[in-house]
Every structure is written in C-alpha cells, then in structure tokens.
Structure 1
Amino acid sequence: MPQDLASCHTAIINGYAIEGHVPANDIKRLIKEKPDIAGIAVPGMPLGTPGMEAGERKESFAVLAFSRNGESNIFKDYQSY
C-alpha cells in the first residue's frame, strides 16, 4: 500500500487491497473487470464517501487504482460529485 494512499480501513477482497471509504459500486467494478492492479483506495476521509456522510455536505474525491510498484492513477473521479 503506497503511504500517500493510506486511510483508516483496509480490506482484502478477491486478492485486491481496498483502502479507505471506497464506494461499493467501485469495488463491484473492480471485481468484475479484474484489472492487473494491487488495489484501489480513497486517501484520507473525504466527506460524503460511504461512512463519512455529513448531511448534504460532500467533498470531491477520487478512487485511485494502485499497482504493486506503487504507481497510481484515477479509477473513478467524483470531482463533480
């Protein structure tokens, strides 16, 4: 797990690391598509992510895919969320 992607919760699902407050639909997509990555993460604890609801307040965030060598890219962008 790249240190800059760390959050508060870690799970292993079908061999993939899931870090942070990742939306369920993104985990379902990961399992269905089976990309060659180590896992997906939502760094920090952005408002509006699953488990971090605060009424109508929401922050933009991205679910990041990361490889075994620590490289990352955007898996799903919630910037216009």
Structure 2
Amino acid sequence: MQDERRHYRPFQHKDAVFRICCDAFDAVAAAILSQRALLEDYLRRHPEFATAREPLDPLADAPPVARDMAR
C-alpha cells in the first residue's frame, strides 16, 4: 500500500504562518510574498481599508487581492 499521508512544509511571513502541501512550495511561497507586497502597498495609499468595519469600495487602481477582500 502506498503511503498517502500529506507532507506539509511551514512557511512564515510576518505574523502569518502557513502550512503548504504541494510540490511547488517555492512558487507558492513567492506568490504569498508577492500578494502581501501588493496589499501592503495598497494599504499605504488607502490606510482606512485596513481598519474598516464595513466593506469599502476599492480605489480604481486596487490590486485584485484588495478587490477580493472588498466583496
């Protein structure tokens, strides 16, 4: 019988901790860093987005990650 247990690798960035289970660990980690950088840049330009208690309309140049969060 083949061993079908999943093997997770930890990845931590700032306060977030991820457990990644895939063959493309490096690509996934890079995507997380890229999306986080886009979001942090957006929050510098639109700081109220980070603390809003209700959905805010994203700015016209909001990255897709911020648009998804605004839904």
With the length of structure 2 as denominator, give the TM-score of the two structures. 0.30
Mark the structure with the bigger radius of gyration. Answer: 2
Greater strand proportion: 1
More helix by proportion, 1 or 2?
2
